[in-house]
């Protein structure tokens, strides 16, 4: 188990390194970028994603030689997702919201979490364009630029802002499921938002700016930091099915409070049943 002194050292070091590496994002934000596509049109990478990850991993590995890493661009280039072990592991998304970054849309960030014994110990989500630094440490609360944040206590969907991710609706096999859920939310919620950065969206739920966020199809680095930040802000993160959330296979239902979370689980189940019935009807 890491001592409080060790955890303090990890936190201070990674904060400093994050601020330094964020200069790459800030300097490149308005200019041209080399853009490559990975899994699909919705999955982009630039030379700056790779550069930020290199700086972060090199800096952390030098300071903490026994620590492990799960970083998006390293996983992509090795084509291998390592399992989460008990060893201290930094889970890194060097640029979350790459599509926003490519378009110079200012919702883009660095997301870093540290897990020890498979438990999230610290989370940092930093948007260097809007200068928003979200932080959390287990048991110590969540903060935006050093001020405590608290998730929403709004319990009715009709009074809630719900964030979703719709870009996966371009994938034919899951299109109807995503549109079915979207239709269910649109018809009841106060409003729907799509920010284009999973990490920042989780932080918006943590700070009570939105009541809920739902999307499947994410990866550990998209969510690890944001999950700790929401939980430390008093919010709830569960699996879309209503079960326990698994950071290594994230299907995200992140909500300001338990009551609304249960309502959303029911709504999603209802929407999925409707989609299933339509599929069966189309086959007849």
In the residue annotation, 96 being an active-site residue is answered as yes
Output the CA–CA distances (angstroms, integers) from residue 80 to 86, 218, 224, in the order listed: 19, 16, 18
Three-class secondary structure assignment of 235-262: CEEEECCCCCCCCCCCCEEEECCHHHHH
Find the angle CA(6)-CA(70)-CA(202) to the nearest 5 degrees: 85
Helix (H, G, I), strand (E, B) or coil at 265: helix
What distance in Å separates the CA atoms of residue 104 and residue 176, rounded to the nearest whole number? Answer: 30
CB nearer Ca ion, residue 12 or residue 41: 41
155 is in the binding site of which of ligand IPD, Ca ion, none (Cβ under 5 to 8 A by kind)?
none
Residue 135, strand partner residues: 124, 143
Region binding Ca ion by CB under 5 A among candidate stretches 62-70, 114-122, 129-137, 222-230: 222-230
Candidate residues 24, 198, 254, 260; the one interacting with ligand IPD per rule CB under 6 A = 198
> What is the closest distance, in whole angstroms, from the C-beta atom of residue 174 to ligand IPD in the complex?
12
What distance in Å separates the CA atoms of residue 226 and residue 254, rounded to the nearest whole number? Answer: 10
Candidate residues 53, 93, 211, 216; the one interacting with Ca ion per rule CB under 5 A = 93
In the residue annotation, 176 being an active-site residue is answered as no
CB nearer ligand IPD, residue 116 or residue 129: 129
CB nearer ligand IPD, residue 150 or residue 179: 179
53 is in the binding site of which of Ca ion, ligand IPD, none (Cβ under 5 to 8 A by kind)?
none
In the residue annotation, 124 being an active-site residue is answered as no
Three-class secondary structure assignment of 91-122: EEEEEECHHHHHCCCCCCEEEEEEEECCEEEE
> What is the closest distance, in whole angstroms, from the C-beta atom of residue 195 to ligand IPD in the complex?
7
DSSP strand pairing (132-137 vs 44-46): unpaired
Candidate residues 42, 222, 229, 240; the one interacting with Ca ion per rule CB under 5 A = 222
> What is the closest distance, in whole angstroms, from the C-beta atom of residue 284 to ligand IPD in the complex?
34
> What is the closest distance, in whole angstroms, from the C-beta atom of residue 148 to ligand IPD in the complex?
25
211 sits near Ca ion (criterion: CB under 5 A): no
What distance in Å separates the CA atoms of residue 95 and residue 59, rounded to the nearest whole number? Answer: 17
Candidate residues 50, 60, 92, 96; the one interacting with Ca ion per rule CB under 5 A = 96
What distance in Å separates the CA atoms of residue 167 and residue 81, rounded to the nearest whole number? Answer: 23
Site for ligand IPD in 217-276 (CB under 6 A): 217-218, 222
Q: Are 120 and 176 in contact (CB under 8 A)?
A: no
Catalytic residue among 215, 222, 229, 232: 222
Residue 112, strand partner residues: 92, 124
CB nearer Ca ion, residue 72 or residue 216: 72
Query: Angle at which helices 258-283 and 172-188 pack, to 10 degrees?
Result: 130
Query: How many residues are present in the chain?
Result: 284
Region binding ligand IPD by CB under 6 A among candidate stretches 55-63, 80-88, 97-105, 142-150: 97-105
Residue 37, strand partner residues: 44
71 sits near ligand IPD (criterion: CB under 6 A): no
Which positions are annotated as active-site residues?
Answer: 72, 93, 95-96, 98, 222
Using CB under 5 A, list all residues that contact Ca ion: 72, 93, 95-96, 222
Using CB under 6 A, list all residues that contact ligand IPD: 43, 93, 95-99, 165, 167, 196-198, 215, 217-218, 222
């Amino acid at each position: 188990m890491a001592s409080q002194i060790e955890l303090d050292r990890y936190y201070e070091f990674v904060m400093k390194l994050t601020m330094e590496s964020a200069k790459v994002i800030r300097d490149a934000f308005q200019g041209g970028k080399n853009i490559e596509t990975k899994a699909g049109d919705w999955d982009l990478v630039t030379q700056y994603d790779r550069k930020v990850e290199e700086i972060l991993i090199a800096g952390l590995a030098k300071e903490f030689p026994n620590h492990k890493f799960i970083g998006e661009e390293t996983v992509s280039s090795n084509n291998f997702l390592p399992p989460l072990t008990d060893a201290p592991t930094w889970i890194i998304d060097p640029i979350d919201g790459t599509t926003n970054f490519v378009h110079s849309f200012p919702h883009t960030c660095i997301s870093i979490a540290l897990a020890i014994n498979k438990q999230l110990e610290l989370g940092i989500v930093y948007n260097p364009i809007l200068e928003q630094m979200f932080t959390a440490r287990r048991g110590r609360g969540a903060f935006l630029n050093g001020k405590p944040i608290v998730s929403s206590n709004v319990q009715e969907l009709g009074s809630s802002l719900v964030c979703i991710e719709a870009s996966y609706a371009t994938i034919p096999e899951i299109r109807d499921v995503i549109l079915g859920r979207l239709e269910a939310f649109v018809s009841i919620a106060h409003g729907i938002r799509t920010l284009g950065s999973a990490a920042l969206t989780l932080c918006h739920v943590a700070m009570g700016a939105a009541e809920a966020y739902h999307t499947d199809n994410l990866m550990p680095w998209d969510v690890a930091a944001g999950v700790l930040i929401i939980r430390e802000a008093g919010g709830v993160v569960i699996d879309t099915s209503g079960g326990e959330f698994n950071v290594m296979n994230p299907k995200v239902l992140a909500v300001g409070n338990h009551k609304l979370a249960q309502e959303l689980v029911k709504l999603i189940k209802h929407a999925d049943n409707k989609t299933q019935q339509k599929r069966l009807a189309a086959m007849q």
